[in-house]
Chain A
């Protein structure tokens, strides 16, 4: 099947004092209809910029180029701003982390929901209003009709995020990009919102790109995973494969950092990844993880090749899993 979204060699550069910040450094992605791709990584790895680049919502000074960003066969880069705007909210929608700042505080939620619909569909206000009520009910908001008159500040964080989801669904998009949609919410609400997203996705057959730093979320919702580090995808594959046999030293390191009830003994020392993320300003050469890698070798100063762990599961490392030796390279920073 042809993927709904195909991204090839996406690069995002941001000019800063002292050169260009290479925030995203040549990544490939593909999402099929009805599929959930999770992009996981720590702050500053470029995961959010990747999503903004796909939506063409990058900050003005950032520069994007890619061999290909194709949505349903349409090359997004060749679209005029007007055409892209028509696409956003209609065929592809976005959900942000902070529902308070992504809803306009001066309009009622009904107003905002209806506007979204009318912007893309030739239809009556009445019809848009009915659809808004229908969707608010679908995302689990009780007394939906009366909620339309509420302003965002009158709703709790969980409700606001539900409204955001309803708004993103107004035009039945084929692709939803959710950037840390549950990070600002309580754990109890997080589970509900993720469940809701998963159900709606199944029901409507949407594709979803979910951006998160939380491997717990990834494990529970992802079909496919892409692990990002310093602007690159260091490991990608089906979620089952990646979690069953994490292959990049960064992925294994991350998983060791998280206490898992029932598996990690309480009070036991947790795994750590020493060192800090390298600066991405100016030229970045070789494997970006090598300064923090237990297995680093002199070869790692060269760009790491892609290795295949299993069908559809690949990672970027000089050494296949069996061939790794504890590092003898000097100058490793540890403990910070």
Chain B
């Protein structure tokens, strides 16, 4: 005799067990994790180099924050080497063709970093504005990165990542005089798609707008630490 039974539903790409385990491990070390998503060449690594420097030596005298980076690329360790030269520990994931990172890849890369020596962990996803949108890696914040030369209509044309992101960074605003790019349109569309999104127009090379961005990271990290130390939090 046989019977048909219906099993419980299975979530495939969001909040899966590996992503949750990554996040737990990262959080236990008091580290805030970001998942940085943007097209190839939008300036993710350059943004990180300058963010590392700005948080290591804050101009306003606030305490420094230590960043560690997991770099995702189809091949090479070029970006890992750039981050190390900028003074931060880094691990490289070479995806060998895959168009995005997944939680298992991040889990392996985490063994190369000493989380106890970090305050922030940035996972720089494979350069791609579409495919990395879905999978959770264990991050606290999803950050969409868009450069001005890509065009102001990109949030409207590729809305999913902006719908799910906590913040959008518009890089290369120093190029605005040379472009027909409407910053208000790009920012406006982001906010239409996602009214809770924080928007940070900046230039990594001139430093314009960097203070708002690093301030955001600083307060997000402080929020995480406060949440962890809050009285009444159930012991885990």
A complexed with B: no
**B interface residue numbers (CB < 8 A to A):** none
**A interface residue numbers (CB < 8 A to B):** none
